Amino acid sequence: MMSAAFSRRALLRAALSLSGLLALSPLAELRAEGPQQAIRIVGSSTLYTMTSDVAELFGKGTRYPAPVVESTGTGGGFKLFCAGNGAGTPDIAMASRPMTEGERQQCDSAGVTAAEALPLGTGGVIVAMAADAPSYPLSLRHLWLALAAKVPVDGKLVTNPYRTWRSIDPALPDLPIQVYGPPPTSGTHDALLGMILDVACHEDPAMVGLPLRERLDACERLREDGAYIHAGESDEMLSRRLLSNPKAVGIVGHQVLDQHRGLKAATLNGVAPTAATVQDRSYPLVRTLYLYVKAAHLPRTPGLGRFVSTYLSNGMIGPDGRLTSLGLVPLGDSARQAAIERARTLGPGI
């Protein structure tokens, strides 16, 4: 009969042999890199509440820990996401706009070469204010004249002279121009420049006759005299500031209306921001919302593929999905299915 001492020695030799094999395996390389125990997500403040909701449900309903979600703004999120692969870098970036060419190059140079944009749905950018504030029947031109650093007066570009909304248009409230908005790292800030200032500025007859260089500079610069106030990345904090200051308005994602019943939105070009007008794009400020998933992390971050599948499910982003109650406007069936198929090309588990 085998002695107890021999059995222990045999088991020890077997364990040492197995540990040696594991040390040479790909799994050991992942352990050496320190595989992340929780999915890390960074980016858009517009998507922060929605993604946090999915993360909490995922943590409760699976054996994986709830993902860590950070609101860094779209630009800040891409900077972190594109820093490289491996421990300490994010698995997912939330975005309220596509990557720029410069951001894509940063990703490529750091080896983040398979990061697909997965559309989730659409959202509107609104001018919000407290529910008991006066109504603002705004146009894109009103917003441009209120927020641009320089505007045309008598055929010349001058430093913005407008101090009240009524000085722009007698139909607007006689209140000071005080606009809370996102910082430059935010995708909503990019929407403010690209979808409001740039469009209204270039369409204005007084700007058409100006030299191109002068016009381009004027159409992309916000005023810095205190009328526009950077309110940080948090939509929640911006909303609270609006609730406490009925004389101010804010540039923010339209999902805040679902989260704060004490807020309302201005009409833009005569159209109110609703799920229907955002979906059919009759409302003028609509953008697509995205997830970017780091393919290199799918085999090394526990539960990453399953989380992406959960997020893209009909139960989350479909017509009657959970996230519609948080302000997400669903994609059409074909676009949503295309996003799922695109996600599956990234790697295992989706």
Is 245 a domain residue?
yes
26 and 118, same structural domain? yes
- Percentage of the residues of the chain whose pLDDT score is greater than 90: 70
**pLDDT for the residue numbered 297:** 94
185's tokens? 């790292």
297 and 264, same structural domain? no
Q: Rounded to whole angstroms, how far apart are CA atoms 161 and 268?
A: 23
Domain-terminating residue out of 268, 287, 306: 287
Q: How many domains does the chain have?
A: 2
Q: Rounded to whole angstroms, how far apart are CA atoms 87 and 301?
A: 9
Is 322 a domain residue?
yes
177 and 77, same structural domain? no
- For residue 121, give the nearest of 54, 180, 195 by alpha carbon: 54
Question: Once rounded to an integer, what is the mean pLDDT over residues 218-239?
Answer: 91
Residue 256 maps to which CATH number? 3.40.190.10
Question: How sure is the predictor about 337, in pLDDT bands with cuts at 50, 70 and 90?
Answer: very high
**pLDDT for the residue numbered 117:** 92
At 39-73, the pLDDT tens digits run 999 999 999 999 999 999 999 999 999 999 999 99
Question: How sure is the predictor about 268, in pLDDT bands with cuts at 50, 70 and 90?
Answer: very high
Which of the listed ranges 23-32, 172-181, 188-197 does the model predict with the highest average pLDDT? 172-181
**pLDDT for the residue numbered 23:** 38
**pLDDT for the residue numbered 227:** 97
pTM: 0.81
**pLDDT for the residue numbered 28:** 36
At 136-155, the pLDDT tens digits run 999 999 999 999 999 999 88
249 and 324, same structural domain? no
Q: pLDDT at residue 37 above 90?
A: no
- Looking at the DSSP bridge assignments, the partners of residue 138 are 268
Q: Rounded to whole angstroms, how far apart are CA atoms 268 and 271?
A: 5
**pLDDT for the residue numbered 57:** 97
Q: pLDDT at residue 3 above 70?
A: no
Question: How sure is the predictor about 233, in pLDDT bands with cuts at 50, 70 and 90?
Answer: confident
Could you list the residue range(s) of the whole structural domain that residue 59 is in?
15-123+289-344
184 and 236, same structural domain? yes
164 and 230, same structural domain? yes
Is 183 a domain residue?
yes
**pLDDT for the residue numbered 113:** 85
Average pLDDT in the chain: 88
Is 151 a domain residue?
yes
**pLDDT for the residue numbered 111:** 94
Question: How sure is the predictor about 214, in pLDDT bands with cuts at 50, 70 and 90?
Answer: confident
Is 225 a domain residue?
yes
Is 8 a domain residue?
no
**pLDDT for the residue numbered 16:** 38
277 and 151, same structural domain? yes
113 and 58, same structural domain? yes
Domain-terminating residue out of 287, 308, 323: 287
169's tokens? 């248009």
Q: 324-341: b or e for each residue (b if 16 or more CB lie within 10 Å)?
A: bebbbbbbeeeebeebbe
276 and 128, same structural domain? yes
Question: Once rounded to an integer, what is the mean pLDDT over residues 295-311?
Answer: 95
Domain-terminating residue out of 287, 304, 335: 287
Q: Rounded to whole angstroms, how far apart are CA atoms 77 and 70?
A: 9
**pLDDT for the residue numbered 7:** 44
Q: pLDDT at residue 208 above 90?
A: no
DSSP code, position 252: E
165 and 254, same structural domain? yes
Q: What is the distance, to the nearest Å, from the Cα of residue 205 to the centroid of all Cα atoms in its chain?
A: 34
At 241-253, the pLDDT tens digits run 999 999 999 999 9
Q: Rounded to whole angstroms, how far apart are CA atoms 276 and 294?
A: 33
Is 10 a domain residue?
no
At 8-26, the pLDDT tens digits run 444 434 443 434 433 333 3
- For residue 198, give the nearest of 214, 217, 176, 185 by alpha carbon: 217
**pLDDT for the residue numbered 264:** 97
302 and 235, same structural domain? no
Is 7 a domain residue?
no
321 and 202, same structural domain? no
Question: How sure is the predictor about 107, in pLDDT bands with cuts at 50, 70 and 90?
Answer: very high
